[in-house]
């Protein structure tokens, strides 16, 4: 099998971008894992797949796969790379509306290979994020090697614990 891709980097993350806007994306989780391997594959943190829009008012559907083959809901840093990819594909600066598994966002060229991603408003309550409220993940602390570490939960299209 031949797979055309673009390798990109942004803020210490590395991505492989596959343009499936004109042909079907057919990789399964095991193939994604093999590709992500840094010793025997291409190596990446996430695989970003650009597909045709599924909704009116959206330019492209954008899928995110983690190195283990699971699909993620959203990646703002990856969206910046998608913006650069689309700018190079179009041959001009632009603004694109993208839909992911969980989020509609806009990525806009700011010149000099810089991009702004307009994310949805963050959610901070565990119940709004999808965490079990009984876990108390809105905020808290954990001891690691005797050091008290405080954390908060936030969702900007995918849940995060922030330290």
DSSP string computed for 12-47? TEEEEEEE-SSS-----HHHHHHHH-TTTS---SEE
Burial 106-140 (b: 16+ CB within 10 A, else e): ebebeeeeebebeeeeebeebeebebeeeeebbee
pLDDT digits (tens, 9 = 90+) for 87-97: 999 888 899 99
pLDDT at 54: 87
**Confidence band for 68, pLDDT divided at 50, 70 and 90:** very high
Calpha distance 66→86 (Å, rounded): 21
pLDDT digits (tens, 9 = 90+) for 126-154: 777 766 666 655 567 778 898 888 887 78
Calpha distance 49→43 (Å, rounded): 15
């Amino acid at each position: 099998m031949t797979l055309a891709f673009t390798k990109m980097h942004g803020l210490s993350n590395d991505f492989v971008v596959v343009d499936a806007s004109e042909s079907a994306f057919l990789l399964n989780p095991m193939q994604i894992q093999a590709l992500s391997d840094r010793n025997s594959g291409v190596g990446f943190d996430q695989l970003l797949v650009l597909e045709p829009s599924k909704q009116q008012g959206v330019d492209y559907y954008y899928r995110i796969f983690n190195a283990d083959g699971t699909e993620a809901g959203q990646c703002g840093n990856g969206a910046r790379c998608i913006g650069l990819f689309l700018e190079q594909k179009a041959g001009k600066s632009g603004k694109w509306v993208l839909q992911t598994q969980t989020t509609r966002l806009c990525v806009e060229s700011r010149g000099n290979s810089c991009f702004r991603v307009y994310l949805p408003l963050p959610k901070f309550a565990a119940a709004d994020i999808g965490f079990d409220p009984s876990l108390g993940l809105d905020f808290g602390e954990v001891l690691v090697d005797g050091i008290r570490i405080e954390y908060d939960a936030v969702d900007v299209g995918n849940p995060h614990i922030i330290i």
